[in-house]
Structure 1
Amino acid sequence: MIMPFESALPDIAWPAAVSGRGMATLSLLFQLERTQWWPADRLREAQQAQLKRLLDHAARHVPFYRRRLGKVADADGEMFWQRWCELPLLTRQDVQRAGDDLFSRSLPDGHGELTEVYTSGSTGKPVHAVRSDLWLLMWSAATVREHLWHGRDFSGKLAAIRESGTGKALYPDGERLDNWGFSTADIFRTGPSVSLNITTPVDDQLDWLSREEPDYLLTHPTMLDRLVRRSAETGRRPKRLKQVLTISEILAPGLRELCRTEWGARVVDTYSTREAGYLALQCPDTDHYHLQSETALVEILDSDGQPCAPGEVGRVIVTPLHNLAMPLVRYDVGDHAEAGGPCSCGRGLPVIRRILGRRQNMLRTAEGERWPLLSSDDIGKLLALAPIRQYQFAQTHPDRIEVRLQTERTLTDEEARGVLGWARAKFGQGFRIDLAFPAELSRTASGKFEDFVCLL
Structure 2
Amino acid sequence: PLTGFETEINNFFWGGCNLRDHLWHGRDLSAKFAAIRTKVDQQTLPDWGRAIACAFNTGPAVTLDIATPVTDQVDWLVAQQPGYLLSHASNLQALARQILAMGTEVESLQGIISFGEKLPADLRALCDQAWNATLTDIYSAEEVGYIALQCPSEPAHYHVMAEQLIVEIIDAEGNPCEPGQWGEVVITSLHNFAMPLIRYRIGDFARVGEVCGCDRGLPVITEIMGRGRNMITLPDGSQHWPSFPAELWLGVAPIQQLQLEQLSRQQILVHYQLERPLSLDQSAQLRRQLAESLHYPGSIEFEHHLAPLTEPGQKFEDFVSRL
TM-score past 0.5 threshold: yes
Instruction: Report the equivalent of 2:109.
Output: 241
Instruction: Report the alpha carbon displacement of residue 186 of structure 1 after superposing the two structures with TM.
Output: 2.9
Give the C-alpha shift of residue 176 in structure 1: 1.8
Q: 2:238 aligns with which of 368, 371, 376?
A: 368
**1:217 and 2:85 aligned:** yes
Q: Which residue of 2 aligns with 1:135?
A: 10
**Does 2:81 align with 1:206?**
no
Query: How many Å separate the matches in 2 of 1:225 and 1:188?
Result: 31
Instruction: Render the CA deviation track for 1:270-325: whole Å, top value 9, x for unaligned.
Output: 11111112111111212111111111111111222221111111111110111111
Report the more deviating stretch, 196-205 or 327-336.
Answer: 196-205
Root mean square deviation, CA, Å: 1.9
- Structure 2 residue corresponding to 1:289, chosen from 145, 158, 168: 158
Comparing both structures, which one devotes a greater share of its residues to helix? 1
% same residue: 40
Write the distance in 2 (CA, Å) between the matches of 1:312 and 1:401.
28
Amino acid of the residue matched to residue 379 of structure 1?
A
- Report the equivalent of 1:354: 223
Name the CA distance, whole Å, in 2 between partners of 1:264 and 1:390.
23
Q: Partner of 1:417: helix, strand, or coil?
A: helix
User: Partners in 2 of 1:127 and 1:361 — Cα distance?
Assistant: 23
Runs of 4+ in 1 over 6 A off after TM superposition: none
Which residue of the partner structure matches residue 379 of structure 1?
Answer: 246
Name the residue aligned to 2:189.
Answer: 320
Where relative contact order (Cα < 8 A, 6+ residues apart) is larger, the structure is: 1
Choose the corresponding residue for 1:390, options 239, 250, 257.
257
User: Could you tell me how far 1:442 is from its partner in structure 2?
Assistant: 4.8
Aligned-pair CA distance for 1:446: 5.2
Q: Is contact 2:261-2:319 (8 Å) kept?
A: yes
Residue type at the aligned position of 2:61: S
Higher-Rg member (1/2)? 1
Query: Of the candidates 155, 171, 179, which is equivalent to residue 30 of structure 2?
Result: 155
Summarize the alignment of residues 51-90 of structure 1 with structure 2, pairs less than 5 Å apart: none
Q: Could you tell me whether the CA contact under 8 Å between 1:387 and 1:409 is conserved in 2? A: no
> What is the aligned partner in structure 2 of residue 424 from structure 1?
291
Q: Please report the TM-score for the alignment, with normalisation by the length of structure 2.
A: 0.93
- 1:169-222: CA deviation from partner (whole Å, max 9, x where unpaired): 4xxxx3221221222223322111112222333222222212211110001111
CA distance in 1, matches of 2:260, 2:190: 37
**Maintained 8 Å contact 1:131/1:323:** yes
**1:437 is matched with which residue?**
304
Change (3 A) 1:418 1:203: farther
Whole-angstrom CA distance in 1 between matches of 2:305 and 2:35: 28
Please name the residue that 1:176 is paired with: 44
Q: 1:240 to 1:229 in 2, by over 3 A?
A: same
Contact 2:83 2:108 in 1 (8 A): yes
**Contact 1:161 1:198 (8 Å CA) reproduced:** yes
Structure 2 spans left out of the alignment, 5+ residues = none
Look up the equivalent residue of 2:153 and give its one-letter code. D
Q: Determine the C-alpha separation between the residues in 1 that align with 2:142 and 2:126.
A: 28
| Equivalent position SS for 1:310 | coil
* Unmatched tracts of structure 1, length 5 or more: 1-125
User: How many positions carry a matched residue from both structures?
Assistant: 321
CA contact under 8 A between 2:274 and 2:305: conserved in structure 1?
A: no
Amino acid at match of 2:315: K
The residue number in structure 1 matching 2:279 is: 412
How far residue 439 of structure 1 moved from its aligned partner, in angstroms, is: 4.9
Q: Matches of 1:441 and 1:392 in 2, distance apart?
A: 11
